[in-house]
Amino acid sequence: MTYTADIHKTPRHFLPAGFSITDWDHLEPFFNALVERPLNTPADLEQWLRDMSEVEAVVSEDASWRQIRMTCDTENKALEEAFVYFCMEIQPRLQPYADKLNRKFIESPLTGGLDEKTYFTYLRNVRKSIDLFREANIPIQAELSVLQQQYGVIAGKMTVVVDGQEYTLQQAAKFLEKPDRALREQVYRAINDRRLQDLNPLNDLYSQLIAKRQQIAENTGYENYRDYRFAELGRFDYTKEDCFQFHEAVKQHVLPLVRQVYERQQKRLGLDALRPWDTEAVPQGEEPLHPFKNGAELLQKSERCLDALNPFFGDCLRKMSSLGHLDLDSRKGKAPGGYNCPLAESGAPFIFMNAAGQMHDVTTMVHEGGHAIHSFLAHPLALSAFKEYPMEIAEVASMSMELFTMEHWDVFFDDAEELRRAKILQLERVITIFPWIATIDKFQHWIYENPRHTPEERKDAWLSILREFTVDVVDITGLEHYRSHSWQRQLHLFEVPFYYIEYGIAQLGAIGMWKQFRENPAHALDNYIQALSLGGMRTLPELYASAGLQFDFSPKHIQTLIEFIQKELVKLYL
């Protein structure tokens, strides 16, 4: 089958072609029409679903653009106000209508005649939404939508001065790769001192978020927000106990390998003690990797890299570039992090990141590129709901692309030794990210199992969990004041609670995809495209199976995959 990135905005049949969302009064009549429309035949139901999907896509894309524009310029008050307006004036009025439409769909006798395989996951999600809907939660959810974005506003203002020049924290991180150890320590301390300036505002913000999330859970009949959130995220295929098992498997099978990675780094640098500002550094006489100079070069090289895998992949980036759907370079006033934002109506998503010329920016670019390819592949599906896939498969799309593209990183590195170093860094990162994923996830379980904790208790719990997943090769003497609130650098805690274990589950899937790729590249890429093209129309185990993967994060499976990565690393070390 041939795939094309030359997708176009979905034609409108229900909403006027020029309609845009300005206020609720102009939007509400379309929802009323859907609620009141009689459904007498299967054809009526199918047309009603298509029209509802069209409205959902327009609303979703409008909200997405408001968020994109605000994160690109957190200092622009008008953009923030536009986002807040949607959260406070539009979204709360949408939710009761969404519930009415869900109930109309489920209660229609015609729904029973729909193809079970096609609509199974859609109907399961609709029933879940009905179960969780409470009028009392609408204003709280609106407040949360606004509050959560304050993290980006606060973090977007964080800068440090190095050698007389101001840098964002993302830009300053490149100095941690330098061979000059004194400079690395200076920058490490400067970054962490700057974070400490906002320790209390971020602590207060998180406390507010926790309280409001707990209230939502209690309003819905749940003892805690963790249990509510598992239901809201549609975690039908695994439980909190599976997450606890993952944490233990990381300690048992991954931490020993993390220890080896850091011991190797200590030996490379010739140090008596490895400090946190040494973990990313290169030895004296060696320069950090410089895969690109700016966002434009990063894009051009990424396109070539993806082309070598499959021209369709490169075409996706070119299409986004032609539409202005990329914002790649780091700058002051820009929110931290990176994301790919699907755009439900126009189809071509938006990639946001903070590139600063480092190796990990290449990883971020191809990671978000994998998400973008997923968006392109799912866009042709008939209904908006079909395109809403679980995060556990979404992150397989992105993390697999990090590993697939290594075969063609010669576009970033002419020198064979630099290419080898880049691949080692990537595979070591695959290993060393697991303890952080387990730490963040276990911390969230504690946070929401104990929602009325004090900031001091939060700090103690964080440090206790952090120690569980930290190897003693890295000397942290005298740095407890930095470590005690280091959770604050993880935006997911503030903006998308409990969205983090997905990275661990998906990393296992990505390793499995790469194992396939090493054995048969064409077959692996076919499996990859096939799974992503299904959107959210299958259960998680079925989506994994369509990619040739097991949906399994038991200790035994984790051990098998980690041993594979270890063998690949040993080949590169030699």
User: Which of the four pLDDT bands, split at 50, 70 and 90, describes residue 9?
Assistant: confident
45-83 pLDDT per residue, tens: 999 999 999 999 999 999 999 999 999 999 999 999 999
Q: Residue 496 gets which letter from DSSP?
A: S
What six digits make up the tokens of 173? 């991180």
- The residues that bridge with 166 in the sheet, in sequence order, are 161
Q: What is the model's pLDDT at position 176?
A: 96
DSSP one-letter string for 125-145: HHHHHHHH--GGGHHHHHHHH
Residue 526: burial class (beta carbons within 10 Å; 0-12, 13-18, 19+): middle
Backbone angles phi, psi at 166, to 5 degrees: -85, 135
Alpha carbons within 13 A on the beta-carbon side of 314? 15
Q: What is the model's pLDDT at position 6?
A: 81
Task: Pick the closest to residue 400 from 234, 292, 532, 540 (CA basis).
Answer: 532
What six digits make up the tokens of 401? 């692309």
Q: What is the model's pLDDT at position 4?
A: 81
Q: What is the model's pLDDT at position 1?
A: 64
140-149 pLDDT per residue, tens: 999 999 999 9
User: Which of the four pLDDT bands, split at 50, 70 and 90, describes residue 10?
Assistant: confident
> In this structure, how many other beta carbons lie within 10 angstroms of the beta carbon of residue 417?
9
What sections of 379-454 are H helices per DSSP?
A: 391-404, 416-449
Strand, helix or coil for residue 286: coil
Calpha distance 144→132 (Å, rounded) = 17
242-294 pLDDT per residue, tens: 999 999 999 999 999 999 999 999 999 999 999 999 999 999 989 999 999 99
Strand, helix or coil for residue 168: strand
416-468 pLDDT per residue, tens: 999 999 999 999 999 999 999 999 999 999 999 999 999 999 999 999 999 99
Q: What is the model's pLDDT at position 8?
A: 77
Task: Pick the closest to residue 225 from 235, 240, 212 (CA basis).
Answer: 212
Calpha distance 63→445 (Å, rounded) = 30
- Angstrom CA distances, 81 to 66, 74, 87, 284, stand at 9, 11, 10, 49
Q: What is the model's pLDDT at position 430?
A: 94
Calpha distance 235→391 (Å, rounded) = 10
User: Which of the four pLDDT bands, split at 50, 70 and 90, describes residue 574?
Assistant: confident
Is the Cα torsion angle 18, 20, 24, 30 positive or negative in sign?
positive
Percent share of the chain, pLDDT over 90: 96
User: Which of the four pLDDT bands, split at 50, 70 and 90, describes residue 3?
Assistant: confident
Calpha distance 376→482 (Å, rounded) = 41
- Angstrom CA distances, 528 to 112, 302, 544, stand at 32, 19, 10
Q: Residue 274 gets which letter from DSSP?
A: B
Calpha distance 500→498 (Å, rounded) = 6
Calpha distance 508→170 (Å, rounded) = 27
Mean of pLDDT over the chain: 96
Question: Contact, 370 vs 267, CB < 8 A?
Answer: no
515-567 pLDDT per residue, tens: 999 999 999 999 999 999 999 999 999 999 999 999 998 899 999 999 999 99
- Angstrom CA distances, 333 to 155, 162, 169, 241, 290, stand at 9, 18, 12, 40, 25
Helix (H) or strand (E) holding 256: helix 255-269
Strand, helix or coil for residue 243: helix
Question: Contact, 536 vs 521, CB < 8 A?
Answer: no
Prediction pTM value: 0.93
- The residues that bridge with 511 in the sheet, in sequence order, are none
Question: Contact, 113 vs 49, CB < 8 A?
Answer: no
DSSP one-letter string for 339-388: EEE--TTT---EEEEEE-S-HHHHHHHHHHHHHHHHHHHHTTSSSGGGG-
Mutual orientation of helices 91-107 and 116-132 as an angle, nearest 10°?
Answer: 130
281-329 pLDDT per residue, tens: 999 989 999 999 999 999 999 999 999 999 999 999 999 999 999 999 9
Q: Which positions ≥6 away from 164 have C-beta within 8 Å? A: none
Calpha distance 340→347 (Å, rounded) = 12
Calpha distance 14→248 (Å, rounded) = 52
Burial 312-348 (b: 16+ CB within 10 A, else e): bbbbbbbbbbeeebbbbbbeeebbbbbbbbbbbbbbb
Calpha distance 34→24 (Å, rounded) = 16
Calpha distance 426→447 (Å, rounded) = 31
